[in-house]
Every structure is written in C-alpha cells, then in structure tokens.
C-alpha cells in the first residue's frame, strides 16, 4: 500500500471520527502503534533487516497516532529484542514529547519479547502490560564482533592501517585484541548502562522493586516481571483496552513501507542490469540480516 493511500485512509478515518463526535456518537479512539523488530540507525538497518526500528522510520506513525481526533489514549504493541541504545532513547523520548504535548496516556503491551532496547521503549509508556509468557528486562549493554586475523593470512591479504592519534584505531577484527581497547569499551558500556538505569528508574519510580538482579541484564517472564515492578499487570492489548475504554474504537496505525523504492535505491529509473544488481545485493544483505536478526532474538529464546 502506497504512503499516499495510507495517508488518505488515515485522513478519512479522522474525518469520520469528527462527524461522529459532532453527532455525540463517538466513544473515542485508541490508536495502536506497532513497534516490532530489532532497533538500528537508518544507515545501519540493512544489517538487521529492512524492518529495523529507528526514529526516522516511526516518526510519522507516532505523530499520526497522537494527533488522531478523539484519541483517549495511545497503545504501543511491542515486540523487540533491542539494538541501538541511541535509537531506543530517541524513539522513547519522542513518545514522551508527544504524550505530554497532547496530554494522552500511553499504554505498552509487550508480546513475545521486550528486552534491552525493547524494554527501553516500553518504559516510555505510563503503564506496561505483559502476557504470562512475555520475556522482559535485559537492562544491560552488550557488544559483539568477530575476529578474523588468521583468515586474511590464509587468503593472502595484508592489513594496512595508517592513523593520526593513538585512539583512532581500536578493536580491529583483523588484529589481536588489546587490553586497553577492552577497557575503553567497558567504559563506554558502563556509561550507556548508567543512562539505561536512570531511564528505567525515572519512569518506573516506586513501582520498581529492589531486587539486585534488576540491572544485571537478566530477563524475566510475565508474572515475575510484574512482581519485580518491571510491568504493571498481565493483559493483552484488546483485553485491557476493551476494559479501560469499552466504547472506544481501537485503530491500528500503519507505517508505509515502499518496498519497490528500497529495491531501486530511491531512484526514479533503473536499467535491467541495475535492477539485477540491486536484487542480488538485496539477497546477500538479506542473508546476513537474517543471521543477525536470528542472533538477537535467540538471546531470549524466541
């Protein structure tokens, strides 16, 4: 479905809400925004698949949700194993900005996984609900890479690196790991972990338990997450919304996904060879993306 068609449909729905409100027939609207998949910056999202979450990709759908006529609340349907801390923070901050601007409560509903950056997003809500089998938490920081020092020797390659500045070259996958580099990385991870803790603590407040394992990167299932104060209750999106807003219309907000434009690299025209190259590149990227996505989800048994 094209972005134009989606925008026209949203406009028509909004007009319908206004008419019903004028006639005294409206029970309000609860827009639902789906936040699903790994979280990655736009320039890096190819490595995690085309469906990676970032602020650029969700900005428009978030605005449409909060600007919906007759909205009485906004619901977030969450299913994410995490990813970029920066994009997690940006999306969560934008949700709070819009919620405060439009004075709307935000409810988050965790599905399979809301872990690491996914839980960062959940904390943007005023209330968090989980199912009895949702995996929640992972308030920590992880960095992973590969070492290929011996590989380049086997294929006859020589690594050449020239820098100005002692700190310019770190953690090269084709060199031995240096102790100083690891200490530097741990320092960065510590700062990010501290920011994560502050965010969770500020959002959950006195609802948060005192279990020392809360900020170790551990995860918990449904009811235990509620007991620890990571979530407010057990419930599904439809179940909770029907109980809270029995007369409201639940409306899923769709994010436009121009697949053809992505395949063509954003160009207006392409020849046969260019299209073939784009498709071939897409297949290769897709293979690597699948491995990376699988690895992220597998961390939480999903």
Helix (H) or strand (E) holding 282: helix 272-298
Tokens of residue 72, six digits: 């009485």
The confidence score (pLDDT) of residue 245 equals: 96
Higher pLDDT, 284 or 95: 95
As a whole number of angstroms, the distance between CA 72 and CA 43 comes to 35
The confidence score (pLDDT) of residue 17 equals: 46
Helix (H) or strand (E) holding 30: strand 29-36
As a whole number of angstroms, the distance between CA 110 and CA 35 comes to 10
Tokens of residue 255, six digits: 């994010």
- pLDDT score of 121 more than 60: yes
How many percent of the chain have pLDDT more than 90? Answer: 52
Residue 45 exposed, middle or buried by CB count within 10 Å (0-12, 13-18, 19+)? buried
Angle CA(286)–CA(290)–CA(293) in degrees, nearest 5?
Answer: 130
- pLDDT score of 249 more than 80: yes
> Going by C-beta distance under 8 Å and a sequence separation of 6 or more, which residues neighbour residue 65?
31, 32, 33, 71, 74, 98, 253
- pLDDT score of 225 more than 50: yes
pLDDT digits 0-9 by tens, 161-207:
777 777 777 777 777 677 777 788 888 888 999 999 999 999 999 99
Using alpha carbons, select from 143, 29, 161 the residue that is nearest to residue 83: 143
Neighbours of 116 (CB within 10 A): 28
- Exposure letters 52-68 (e unless 16+ CB within 10 A, then b): bbbbebbeebbebbbeb
The confidence score (pLDDT) of residue 169 equals: 72
Please compute the mean of the pLDDT values over residues 269-286 and round it to a whole number.
50
- pLDDT score of 266 more than 60: no
Domains plus CATH for the chain? 3-138+218-258 (3.90.226.10), 140-206 (no CATH)
Across the chain, what does the average pLDDT equal? 80
The confidence score (pLDDT) of residue 9 equals: 59
- pLDDT score of 301 more than 70: no
Sign (positive or negative) of CA dihedral 221, 223, 227, 229: positive
Please compute the mean of the pLDDT values over residues 282-296 and round it to a whole number.
53
pLDDT digits 0-9 by tens, 24-65:
335 899 999 999 999 999 876 555 545 789 999 999 999 999
The confidence score (pLDDT) of residue 126 equals: 98
> What is the reported pTM?
0.74
The confidence score (pLDDT) of residue 53 equals: 93
């Amino acid at each position: 479905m094209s972005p134009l068609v989606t925008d026209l449909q949203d406009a028509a729905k909004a007009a319908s809400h206004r008419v019903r409100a004028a006639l005294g027939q409206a029970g309000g609207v609860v827009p639902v925004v789906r936040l699903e998949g790994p979280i990655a910056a736009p320039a890096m999202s190819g490595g995690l698949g085309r469906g990676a979450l970032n602020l650029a990709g969700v900005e428009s759908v978030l605005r449409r949700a909060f600007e919906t006529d007759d909205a009485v609340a906004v619901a977030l349907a969450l299913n994410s194993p995490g990813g970029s801390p920066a994009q997690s923070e940006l999306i969560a901050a934008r949700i709070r900005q819009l919620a405060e601007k439009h004075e709307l409560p935000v409810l988050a509903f965790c599905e399979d996984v809301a872990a690491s950056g996914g839980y960062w997003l959940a904390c943007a809500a005023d209330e968090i609900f989980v199912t009895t089998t949702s995996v929640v938490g992972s308030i920590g920081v992880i960095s992973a890479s590969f070492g290929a020092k011996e590989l380049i020797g086997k294929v006859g390659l020589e690594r050449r690196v020239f820098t100005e500045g002692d700190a310019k070259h770190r953690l090269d996958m084709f060199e031995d790991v240096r102790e100083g580099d690891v200490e530097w990385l741990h320092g960065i991870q510590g700062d990010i972990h501290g920011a994560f803790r502050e965010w969770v603590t500020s959002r959950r407040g006195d609802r948060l338990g005192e279990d020392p394992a809360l900020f170790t990167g551990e995860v918990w299932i449904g009811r235990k997450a509620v007991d620890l104060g990571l979530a407010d209750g057990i419930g599904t999106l439809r179940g909770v919304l029907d109980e809270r807003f029995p007369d409201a219309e639940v409306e899923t907000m769709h994010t436009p996904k121009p697949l053809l434009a992505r395949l063509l690299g954003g160009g207006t025209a392409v020849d046969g060879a260019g299209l073939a190259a784009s498709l071939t590149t897409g297949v290769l990227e897709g293979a690597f993306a699948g491995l990376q996505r699988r690895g992220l989800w597998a961390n939480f048994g999903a």
